[in-house]
Structure 1
Amino acid sequence: MIVSYLSFGPTTLELLQYVNPQGGQRTPLDVNDSGSAHIGLEVDDLHAEYDRLVAAGVEFKSPPVTIPYGDHVFGGVVSVYGYDPDGNCFELQSFPKPRS
């Protein structure tokens, strides 16, 4: 097994790769399927990060989506789902600046 740790202030992310024995094939799950999993990361400028990652060849489910304001608690949040080289799903989110 290969293990890597990434620390961000008080948060640590553990990444594992099982080398021996290798895992079997898995059925891909969509982000809204029961049992699916992803990691979410907050970025300051989602559109710039999306453009940078697309230029690097990263595959995304769709372009970034902005949740409309209104009665929704997440109004103004910009979000996008992408896939790492192993097909694992990740989400990037950018939160709006407080409105005055």
Structure 2
Amino acid sequence: MTNVRAHHFGVTVTDLERAIEFYRDVLGLAVLDRFTVAGEAFSAAVDVEGATGRFAHLDAGGARIELVEYDPEGDERPAASVNRPGAKHLGLEVGDLDAFYDGLPGDVETMSEPRTTESGTRILFLRDPEENLVEVIES
């Protein structure tokens, strides 16, 4: 059997520049690469006729987050709740969750203040500018 390992975690966005600003400036992730992909092979691979994708890869400390803006853009979808089947979120970790929370700009939407779960894990959920869920865990 082939050895499978993670390469990246993708998030589709409507405004790549705004998303990069959030992940870079608010979450502190370094931009590793930016590129555009188009053509027949790409369109067939993503099953979107005439698709072009603008991409940014960001370094999340050993994990790569891929932000992608598609043209044409897909249909609007309501923001998912974490308990909805098919919901997805990015999971990031910080050393001091309270300091991270205190340092967030006032316009960043959080689900609550940092909380300690029954298992002893300290967590915080927030939304990026596209309303994607991001979980931040204290390590």
Pick aligned residue for 1:49 from 64, 86, 100: 100
Distance 1:57-1:12 versus aligned 2 partners, 3 A rule:
same
1:62 aligns with 2:112: yes
- 5+ residue gaps, structure 2, are 1-52
TM-score (norm 1): 0.77
Aligned residues: 87
The unaligned stretches of length 5 or more in structure 1 are 69-74, 96-100
Quote the Cα distance in structure 2 between the aligned partners of 1:27 and 1:92.
Answer: 22
Question: Once the two structures are aligned, what percentage of the paired residues are identical?
Answer: 37
Richer in helix (by share): 2
Distance 2:125 2:69 in 1: 22
Amino acid at match of 1:58: V
Pick the aligned partner of 1:13 from 65, 68, 73: 65
TM-score with structure 2 setting the length? 0.57
Give the AA of the match of 2:63: T
